[in-house]
Amino acid sequence: MLAARGWNVIAGVRKAEDAERLRNLGLKTVLLNVADSASIETALDEQARGVSIPYATVLSETGQVVGSTRFANIGRYDRRVEIGWTWIGVPLQRTAVNNEAE
Protein backbone atom coordinates (compact mmCIF):
# COMPACT_ATOMS: atom_id res chain seq x y z
CA MET A 1 0.00 0.00 0.00
CA LEU A 2 1.36 3.42 -0.94
CA ALA A 3 0.56 4.99 2.45
CA ALA A 4 2.66 2.32 4.16
CA ARG A 5 5.57 3.34 1.90
CA GLY A 6 5.33 6.95 3.04
CA TRP A 7 3.21 8.35 0.21
CA ASN A 8 0.61 10.98 1.07
CA VAL A 9 -2.56 9.21 -0.07
CA ILE A 10 -5.85 11.11 -0.06
CA ALA A 11 -9.04 9.19 -0.75
CA GLY A 12 -12.22 10.89 -1.92
CA VAL A 13 -15.31 9.40 -0.30
CA ARG A 14 -19.05 10.05 -0.24
CA LYS A 15 -19.88 8.72 3.23
CA ALA A 16 -18.49 9.62 6.66
CA GLU A 17 -18.26 5.95 7.66
CA ASP A 18 -16.07 5.24 4.60
CA ALA A 19 -13.83 8.17 5.57
CA GLU A 20 -13.45 6.77 9.09
CA ARG A 21 -12.65 3.27 7.81
CA LEU A 22 -9.96 4.62 5.45
CA ARG A 23 -8.47 6.92 8.08
CA ASN A 24 -8.10 3.86 10.30
CA LEU A 25 -5.98 2.39 7.51
CA GLY A 26 -3.72 5.45 7.58
CA LEU A 27 -5.17 7.34 4.61
CA LYS A 28 -6.27 10.95 4.51
CA THR A 29 -9.80 11.50 3.24
CA VAL A 30 -11.91 14.20 1.69
CA LEU A 31 -15.69 14.00 1.78
CA LEU A 32 -17.47 14.94 -1.44
CA ASN A 33 -20.88 13.68 -2.40
CA VAL A 34 -22.32 15.20 -5.57
CA ALA A 35 -25.79 14.28 -4.30
CA ASP A 36 -25.28 16.34 -1.10
CA SER A 37 -25.52 20.12 -1.39
CA ALA A 38 -23.43 20.71 1.77
CA SER A 39 -20.56 18.74 0.25
CA ILE A 40 -20.75 20.79 -2.94
CA GLU A 41 -20.88 24.03 -0.93
CA THR A 42 -17.71 23.01 0.94
CA ALA A 43 -15.89 22.40 -2.34
CA LEU A 44 -17.06 25.74 -3.73
CA ASP A 45 -16.07 27.53 -0.51
CA GLU A 46 -12.57 26.06 -0.77
CA GLN A 47 -12.44 27.27 -4.36
CA ALA A 48 -13.54 30.78 -3.34
CA ARG A 49 -10.80 30.86 -0.67
CA GLY A 50 -8.22 29.74 -3.22
CA VAL A 51 -7.25 26.52 -1.44
CA SER A 52 -8.63 24.08 -4.01
CA ILE A 53 -10.08 23.92 -7.49
CA PRO A 54 -12.78 21.25 -7.76
CA TYR A 55 -13.77 19.71 -11.07
CA ALA A 56 -16.77 17.56 -11.91
CA THR A 57 -16.20 14.47 -14.04
CA VAL A 58 -18.96 14.45 -16.65
CA LEU A 59 -19.77 11.84 -19.28
CA SER A 60 -19.57 13.70 -22.58
CA GLU A 61 -22.16 11.40 -24.16
CA THR A 62 -24.89 12.07 -21.60
CA GLY A 63 -23.86 15.09 -19.51
CA GLN A 64 -24.19 12.96 -16.35
CA VAL A 65 -21.91 13.86 -13.42
CA VAL A 66 -20.11 10.66 -12.47
CA GLY A 67 -17.33 11.85 -10.19
CA SER A 68 -14.98 14.60 -9.12
CA THR A 69 -11.32 15.55 -8.88
CA ARG A 70 -9.42 18.54 -7.49
CA PHE A 71 -6.31 20.60 -7.47
CA ALA A 72 -5.86 20.99 -3.72
CA ASN A 73 -3.50 22.25 -1.03
CA ILE A 74 -2.44 24.99 -3.40
CA GLY A 75 0.84 26.57 -2.31
CA ARG A 76 1.23 29.88 -4.06
CA TYR A 77 4.55 30.73 -2.36
CA ASP A 78 6.33 27.52 -3.40
CA ARG A 79 4.22 27.00 -6.55
CA ARG A 80 2.92 23.54 -5.68
CA VAL A 81 -0.40 21.79 -5.94
CA GLU A 82 -1.76 18.34 -5.13
CA ILE A 83 -3.63 16.78 -8.02
CA GLY A 84 -6.17 14.18 -7.08
CA TRP A 85 -8.87 13.71 -4.51
CA THR A 86 -10.47 11.85 -7.38
CA TRP A 87 -13.49 9.60 -7.11
CA ILE A 88 -15.64 7.94 -9.72
CA GLY A 89 -19.06 6.39 -9.08
CA VAL A 90 -18.99 2.63 -8.51
CA PRO A 91 -20.61 1.68 -11.86
CA LEU A 92 -17.75 3.36 -13.76
CA GLN A 93 -14.80 2.31 -11.62
CA ARG A 94 -12.23 0.22 -13.48
CA THR A 95 -13.39 1.66 -16.80
CA ALA A 96 -11.92 4.14 -19.28
CA VAL A 97 -13.71 6.92 -17.35
CA ASN A 98 -11.49 6.26 -14.33
CA ASN A 99 -8.34 6.23 -16.46
CA GLU A 100 -9.27 9.50 -18.15
CA ALA A 101 -10.05 11.19 -14.82
CA GLU A 102 -6.58 10.48 -13.52
pLDDT tens digit at each of 102 positions of the chain: 566 777 666 677 777 888 888 888 877 777 766 677 887 788 889 889 888 888 888 887 888 888 888 888 888 788 888 877 777 877 887 788 777 766
Listing DSSP states for 6-47 in one string gives T---EEEESSHHHHHHHHHTT-EEEE--TT-HHHHHHHHHHH
What's 62's DSSP letter?
T
Distance in angstroms (rounded) separating the CA atoms of residues 39 and 18: 15
pTM of the predicted protein model? 0.57
